[in-house]
Amino acid sequence: MCNIWKNENEVEITPEGLGKLLADPLYSELAHVGVTGGEPTLREDIIEVYEQLILSLPALKGLSIITNAIEENTVKQRISQINELCLHHGVPFSAMVSIDGYKKTHDRIRGIKNNFESAYNVYTYLNEELKVPTTFGCTISKKNVWEVDDLLYFAQKNNMRGRFRVAEFINRLYNEDRDNVIRNFTEDETYHLVLFFEKLKQNYENSNSVKRTYTSIQNMLLGGERLIGCPYHNDGIVVGSKGQINYCAPKSNDIGNGQHESSLALYRKKFHQKEAIVQKDCKNCIHDYHAPITYNEKKRELNDFLNLRTLRTENADLLALYSNSMSAIPIPSGKKRVFIVGWYGTETVGDKAILGGIVQAYETAYGSTLDLVIGSLYPFVTQKTCKELNINATVVSTKTYDLLRYAKSADEVVMGGGPLMDLNELYVPLIAFKVAKINNIKTVIQGCGLGPLHKDRFKRAVKNLLELATVINLRDSASVKQASTMGFSNASLSGDFARPYIKQNFIEQNSAQSANVIRCFLREWTYEYSRHLSIEEFQTEKKKLEAGIAQLIREKAEQTGCSNIRLEHMHNFVVGNDDRDFSRYFIETYFSNEQDLNISFNPKLATVENIVSAMQNATHNICMRFHSVLFAQTLKLPFTAIDYTRGGKIQFYLEDCNQMDSMIPPLQLIKS
């Protein structure tokens, strides 16, 4: 994302000139120096540059380099020499290799064939042969926004450590004319990136400092300001290749040249420019500079920690009493407030349809008087859902005490669908119901299923939830029966609310359209439905099930005459497992040498509408995610259901629909 090559060919500072520049008092306590470009290893005297850095900086604690690794052999040779120099002087040295995508994506962005291969080779050489601490750096722009997950998957598989950043306008790179690809994302691209950075935080990045940076990037992508500090606020300076001095890398103009004037004098004389940058640019700068935690960040972290420690099922009674001291949030005049809670914020496409169905029911009941509030574990996810479904609602975080405030300020509190099972997040409906009950507010369990429940504390929480409910509507007959055995004969069968939503909003079809494709709606098989097995036994069965699914796909392809296989996805969020990641693994593991089938996966975001459309444009649907089964059955489309729940909700649903002949139990696939 730079045009630095367009800069006029001025004479670069010599190593000796650099040594003289660094003799200035401004650099007397300089501890870390990173050398970047352009491409630093293009300088034939780069070893002498590093030697001058070592000899000229008495407080030096570390050196680093960033390389694009285009000239593989040259880069290896020169970085090897730099490393030897640093080892000789006892100065820690690290490297970063620029990799902006997997294989063809990186080559396309860099405009150089086989650059991915050379970059990976350099990374491996530095990390494994030279033992230099090495990371890769990926800059995200409009050109690679949909391919970043591919690079992450490759990195995780190969134990590569790397950092991801959003491309920023940087004065020293002369890229102000690249606004067509820099920070110019569509709404879907932005949302995809917010999901991606959450995945990095939860499944990849180990450094708390970097995680804070990623949180700040997410906040800025969602329209907020930078949340973190920056080393250039107090401790950083930029020296250009010709001796020019800048207050910061992204936004500062040259304040002078350190070869012609004292750097310290320049720094002091132009300080008003630095203050102007802080006022004008810093809050909007998305560049991934990591800095020590700020006071405001500490306050936010402390608040989050206190919420995490107190918002628990075991504290529900105390929190309900505490809510008496909280002010209610006024309900607009003439309105009926319904507060829907559940697992929202982690919703699958099926959960979106559930929410749509529940909201439709309340819109029918209350019409224009409805004041809808939805509690969400990750509000940005549910806000996107509401926009997709055209739902007018206030979305609040259930990881904060807003859970209590809105629970005491509603006319009705609803646990809106999903399973009541072994989840730490059971605190959400339990606390909401406790608060509602002491305020004489109606509580409704709407379209939920019971189980799987294994641990006693979750069994107690679910029983308590049922006791607190004014109305209990469950999604399948098996859950109603289970509730009855627990002493709740007032439980009724409502069905899953996704079903009426699909029926009302999408056209039923008796046969699929003429698309010559088999659509698969798969997911990773997780342990909660196989607790009778040891972890080792489960892993063995899991591999067999995956192989069985691959065989099922081949058999269906042969039966239908379809050679095109498309993996679609009911879930795109790391919490609950992004199905796109499983698809990458599944295709690579079981179809990497496939010659008879054209198999691919959809990398884009899933919505109720595009999932329904995909199903309707298929010769056959292979459904593993629960709501993919519900969608296909409701739409009367040809499908095969894989019951990953081992006789759980998929079987219960198909029994209620009298369509068990469409289901394959996992044991059958494992044996195959």
Domains of the chain: 313-502 (3.40.50.2000), 506-671 (3.40.50)
Structure tokens given for 92: 């820690």
Angle between helices 498-505 and 349-366 (to 10 degrees): 80
> How much of the chain exceeds pLDDT 70, in percent?
95
Structure tokens given for 458: 């979750």
Q: Which amino acid is at 341?
A: V
Q: Is the pLDDT of residue 171 over 70?
A: no
Spatial contact of 467 and 517, defined as CB atoms under 8 Å apart: no
> How much of the chain exceeds pLDDT 90, in percent?
92
For residue 317, count other CB atoms closer than 10 A to its CB. 13
Q: Give the model confidence (pLDDT) of 619-665 as tens digits.
A: 999 999 999 999 999 999 999 999 999 999 999 999 999 999 999 99
Q: What is the pLDDT of residue 179?
A: 52
Kindly report whether the peptide bond that precedes residue 332 is cis, defined as omega within 30 degrees of 0.
no
**Mean of the pLDDT values across residues 231-238?**
92
Q: What is the pLDDT of residue 163?
A: 98
Q: What is the pLDDT of residue 509?
A: 61
DSSP 8-state class, residue 129: I
Q: Of how many residues is the chain composed? A: 672
Q: What is the pLDDT of residue 512?
A: 47
Q: What is the pLDDT of residue 515?
A: 83
Cα–Cα dist 127/153, whole Å: 19
Q: Is the pLDDT of residue 172 over 90?
A: no
Cα–Cα dist 58/30, whole Å: 8
Cα–Cα dist 293/521, whole Å: 42
Q: Is the pLDDT of residue 41 over 80?
A: yes
Do β-strands 244-246 and 256-257 pair in parallel, antiparallel, or remain unpaired? Answer: antiparallel
Q: Of 524, 584, 526, give the one whose Cα is nearest residue 153.
A: 584
Q: Is the pLDDT of residue 373 over 90?
A: yes
**Mean of the pLDDT values across residues 191-203?**
99
Angle at 586 between CA 583 and CA 591, to 5 degrees: 120
**Mean of the pLDDT values across residues 593-622?**
96
Q: What is the pLDDT of residue 168?
A: 79
Q: What is the pLDDT of residue 513?
A: 57
Give the pLDDT band of residue 4 (cuts 50, 70, 90).
very low
**Mean of the pLDDT values across residues 601-611?**
98
Please state whether 577 falls in left (phi above 0), alpha (psi between -120 and 50) or beta.
left
Mean confidence (pLDDT) of the chain: 95
Phi/psi of residue 506, each to 5°? -135, 145
Spatial contact of 40 and 65, defined as CB atoms under 8 Å apart: yes
The 3-state DSSP composition of the chain as helix, strand, coil percent (nearest 5) reads 50, 15, 35
Q: Give the model confidence (pLDDT) of 414-461 as tens digits.
A: 999 999 999 999 999 999 999 999 999 999 999 999 999 999 999 999
Q: Of 437, 438, 430, 416, give the one whose Cα is nearest residue 312.
A: 430
**Mean of the pLDDT values across residues 380-401?**
98
Spatial contact of 579 and 545, defined as CB atoms under 8 Å apart: no
By the 10 Å C-beta count (0-12 exposed, 13-18 middle, 19+ buried), 662 is classed as middle
Q: Is the pLDDT of residue 324 over 90?
A: yes
Helix ranges, 34-134 (H): 46-56, 72-89, 104-110, 115-124
Cα–Cα dist 509/395, whole Å: 35
Beta-carbon contacts of residue 368 (< 8 Å; ≥ 6 apart): none
Q: Which amino acid is at 348?
A: T
Taking every pair of Cα atoms in the chain, the longest distance, rounded to a whole number of angstroms, is 88
Beta-carbon contacts of residue 206 (< 8 Å; ≥ 6 apart): none
Q: What is the pLDDT of residue 38?
A: 87
Integer angstrom CA distances of residue 371 from 332, 336, 441: 8, 6, 15
Spatial contact of 86 and 50, defined as CB atoms under 8 Å apart: yes
Q: Give the model confidence (pLDDT) of 406-422 as tens digits.
A: 999 999 999 999 999 99
Tokens 């504390």 correspond to 457
DSSP 8-state class, residue 293: P
Q: Is the pLDDT of residue 170 over 80?
A: no
Spatial contact of 55 and 24, defined as CB atoms under 8 Å apart: no
Q: What is the pLDDT of residue 450?
A: 97
Q: Is the pLDDT of residue 181 over 90?
A: no
Work out whether the CA dihedral 370, 375, 379, 381 comes out positive or negative.
negative
Work out whether the CA dihedral 56, 269, 227, 283 comes out positive or negative.
negative
Beta-carbon contacts of residue 561 (< 8 Å; ≥ 6 apart): 516
Q: Is the pLDDT of residue 5 over 50?
A: no
Q: Is the pLDDT of residue 106 over 50?
A: yes
Cα–Cα dist 349/572, whole Å: 9
Cα–Cα dist 98/182, whole Å: 17
Q: Of 594, 520, 601, 515, give the one whose Cα is nearest residue 562.
A: 515
Spatial contact of 248 and 230, defined as CB atoms under 8 Å apart: yes
Spatial contact of 195 and 211, defined as CB atoms under 8 Å apart: no
Cα–Cα dist 194/572, whole Å: 11
Spatial contact of 67 and 98, defined as CB atoms under 8 Å apart: yes
Cα–Cα dist 122/128, whole Å: 10
Angle at 238 between CA 233 and CA 240, to 5 degrees: 165
Cα–Cα dist 418/440, whole Å: 25
Q: Give the model confidence (pLDDT) of 263-320 as tens digits.
A: 999 999 999 999 999 999 999 999 998 889 999 999 999 999 999 999 999 999 999 9
Q: What is the pLDDT of residue 184?
A: 84
Q: What is the pLDDT of residue 180?
A: 54
498 versus 291: which is more confidently predicted? 498
Cα–Cα dist 414/471, whole Å: 9
Tokens 């810093």 correspond to 282
